[in-house]
């Protein structure tokens, strides 16, 4: 079991995530920084303190909490947090929205990016996917939690 991070460490990570967001969006002059910046604390708290998640990542979510994002345009915050949590190298953030990058403007599954379970972008779609995942967990007797934003 990993040790819980204290408030100051979570704040430090959230500050780094905000810097990443600004760098990513500025470098390509494209993206939605407002929503990403506003959700940095939420994502850091979820991935570093609240959710039971594993960077080795299995797409079916068995034995771990699951997260579904509806508003895929805030992908910069999610990518940064996933990278800092160890799902993929932090250096990959420099490829945001570039040709052949796994880090596009809306998360998608065909890129094979760990941590991403569904393509998102259609607002509200994550909620229906989360409801289905929660029902599946219940039927399987898995008591882990499903979250959606």
64-121 tens-digit pLDDT = 999 999 999 999 999 999 999 999 999 999 999 999 999 999 999 888 899 999 999 8
Q: Read off the DSSP letter of residue 66.
A: E
What confidence score (pLDDT) does residue 58 get?
Answer: 85
Give the span between the Cα atoms of 53 and 58, in whole angstroms. 10
Angle between helices 7-28 and 75-85 (to 10 degrees): 130
Kindly report the pTM of this predicted structure: 0.95
pLDDT at 2 over 70: no
Higher pLDDT, 23 or 31: 23
CATH architecture of the domain with residue range 7-148? 3-Layer(aba) Sandwich (3.40)
Cβ contact 122:128 at 8 Å: no
Cβ contact 93:79 at 8 Å: yes
Cβ contact 128:105 at 8 Å: no
Residues 129, 130, 133, 135: is their CA dihedral positive or negative? negative
Q: Read off the DSSP letter of residue 5.
A: P
Secondary structure class of 45 (helix, strand, coil): helix
Give the span between the Cα atoms of 1 and 54, in whole angstroms. 11
As a whole-number percent, the residues of the chain with pLDDT over 90 amount to 87
Q: 24-28: list long-range contacts, CB under 8 Å, 24+ apart.
A: 24/76, 24/79, 24/80, 24/93, 24/94, 24/96, 24/97, 24/103, 25/76, 25/96, 27/94, 27/96, 28/96, 28/97, 28/98
């Amino acid at each position: 079991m990993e040790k819980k991070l204290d408030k100051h460490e979570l704040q430090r990570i959230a500050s780094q995530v905000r810097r990443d967001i600004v760098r990513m969006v500025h470098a390509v002059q494209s993206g939605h920084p407002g929503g990403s910046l506003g959700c940095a604390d939420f994502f850091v708290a979820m991935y570093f303190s609240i959710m039971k998640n594993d960077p080795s990542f299995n797409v079916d979510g068995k034995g771990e909490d699951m997260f579904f994002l509806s508003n895929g345009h805030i992908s910069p915050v999610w990518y940064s947090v996933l990278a800092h949590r160890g799902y993929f190298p932090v250096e990959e953030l420099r490829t945001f929205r570039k040709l052949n990058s796994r880090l596009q403007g809306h998360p998608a599954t065909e890129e094979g990016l760990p941590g991403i379970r569904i393509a998102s972008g259609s607002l509200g779609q994550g909620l229906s996917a989360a409801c289905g995942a929660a029902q599946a967990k219940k039927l399987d007797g898995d008591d882990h939690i499903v979250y959606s934003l």
